[in-house]
Structure 1
Amino acid sequence: MADLKGVNLAMQTPFDAEGAIDFATYEKLIEDYIAAGVQGLVLGAGTGQHPYLTEAECNRLYETGIRQVAGRVNVICQTSALNMDEVIRRSQHAEKAGADALMILPPYLEGPADDDGLFEFYRTLDTAVGIDIVGYNIPQATGIAVSVPLLERLKGLKRYRWIKDSAGDFTTHQEYLQTGTDVLNGCDTTTFAALMAGTKGVIWGAANYMPHEAATLYRLIAARDFEAALTLWQRMLPSLLFIWRNPYVPAVLRAAQLRGYGTGNVRRPLQKLTEAQDAGLQKALAPLMG
């Protein structure tokens, strides 16, 4: 079983100007993020533009990343897909490559949205793999919310041990915690509150541009140095509010580029920030730039 507590950085996939994966930058970023003190990396996360990567690209990304990490931190691979056989194939490939856990969205486009159908989806996956499954609650993107009663059922499966909660509904987040499931916060703006409430860790997109601050925040809260943690959080919050209310992935990648992490390039159909958005982002980043 994987121990995913701490900061699991939802890692960007760096692209060159033509939209091809820049593997040299990818390997350098892995080294930079590990040096910053994070406990894990999520490869092919939403922040890594997973929907716009082919299966073959994902497989190479995971193989390269796992080899570069070499067991120094946890590796979670997102193996989501719409076709059931493809989800299983992607998941088994990532497991064979050495992933510690798999992050898998519910079937998000005209698939089953009822609790019984969602349970059967994850039950099937549970029997197909031998490592931990991280479920994923992000209803603003999928149109599917994992209900608390469903989570109670899912936690009875052998591999479904974790859920990433990116919804931003802190009441539901705390209800998830009450089930005894291991919860990972995925909403940037509620990170401080979630860690204070007892969530085991985070899968954090914004850590791409502030890995040192993210790792330090977790360490301060774990050490119960709440005053120092809150002071740091107030420096982090302006940019977190900005990325949450603007085009998320382009904003995170641009912020990362401004702070020396990656190329800032997005893959089509995503587009870079407008000039006005870019100016707003730079203003929001100012408290971190001193």
Structure 2
Amino acid sequence: MTDLTGVIPPATTPFDAAGDIDFAAAGRQIDWLIGEGAHGVAVGGSTGEGQTLEAEEFRDLVQAAADVAGGRAPVIAGIITDSTREAVRRGRLVRDLKVAALQVTPVHYLFRPGDDAMVEHFRTLAGETGQQILIYNVVPWTYLSPALLLRIMDEVPAVIGVKQSAGDLKLLADLMADVK
């Protein structure tokens, strides 16, 4: 397991004129972030256009980031999908790429799955990928409450933290107050 501490910024995903990932530019960005003191980098999240990438593009981006990081700083792979099945698929694609953790949004549909289904989503993802997981709590219509986040972390030991991105400081304060 990799300890994740400090500042871990999200990386953008640069594209060329044809709409393909510019891996050379991505590599320069990762190298620059680490060189400037970032304690790790997150790729493939919302800032990195992860929701628009095909699964194989996502894998290749994570591989490029891991190659450039070269063990100097941990790499976190962002997974933003609409289903547990696709989240598992992407997690498996990067399982052997030396990522420190998967940063995963809750399942998000036009309706909000129940709390038990949310717990099962993360339990399945952890079991099927064998990876550490950070919950990326950003999707407004499936925003997870502090109580549910703590329940998931309690019931699914592979869930090691939360990237709280909804901008609600009261909910962040509630989460911090309840963390043991």
Answer yes or no: same fold by TM over 0.5. yes
Q: Report the 3-state secondary structure (helix = DSSP H, G, I; strand = E; otherwise coil) of the residue aligned with 1:66.
A: helix
In structure 2, runs of 5+ residues without a counterpart are none
- Give deviations 1:195-229, integer Å, cap 9, x for gaps: xxxxxxxxxxxxxxxxxxxxxxxxxxxxxxxxxxx
- Give deviations 1:146-184, integer Å, cap 9, x for gaps: 112212211111101111100111111011112327xxx
Contact 2:108 2:142 in 1 (8 A): yes
Q: Is the alpha carbon distance of 1:179 and 1:155 closer, same or farther for their aligned partners in structure 2, counting shifts above 3 Å?
A: farther
1:150 equivalent in alignment to 2:161:
no
- Give deviations 1:25-82, integer Å, cap 9, x for gaps: 1111111111100001001111111111111100111111111111100110012322
Aligned to 1:169: 168
Distance 1:68 1:176 in 2: 34
Aligned to 1:46: 46
Query: TM-score scaled to structure 1, two decimals?
Result: 0.59
Q: Report the 3-state secondary structure (helix = DSSP H, G, I; strand = E; otherwise coil) of the residue aligned with 2:3.
A: coil
Aligned to 1:72: 72
Query: What is the Cα deviation at residue 15 of structure 1?
Result: 1.0
In structure 1, runs of 5+ residues without a counterpart are 182-290
Aligned to 1:2: 2
Contact 2:104 2:133 in 1 (8 A): yes
Aligned to 1:92: 92
Distance 1:127 1:12 in 2: 29
Aligned to 1:180: 179
Q: Which has the larger radius of gyration?
A: 1
Query: What is the Cα deviation at residue 112 of structure 1?
Result: 4.5
Aligned residues: 179
Contact 2:95 2:129 in 1 (8 A): yes
Query: What is the Cα deviation at residue 111 of structure 1?
Result: 5.7
Q: Report the 3-state secondary structure (helix = DSSP H, G, I; strand = E; otherwise coil) of the residue aligned with 1:146.
A: coil
Report matched runs for 1:1-290 at 5 Å. Answer: 1-110=1-110, 112-140=112-140, 143-156=141-154, 157-180=156-179
Quick check: which one's helix share is greater? Answer: 1
RMSD: 1.5
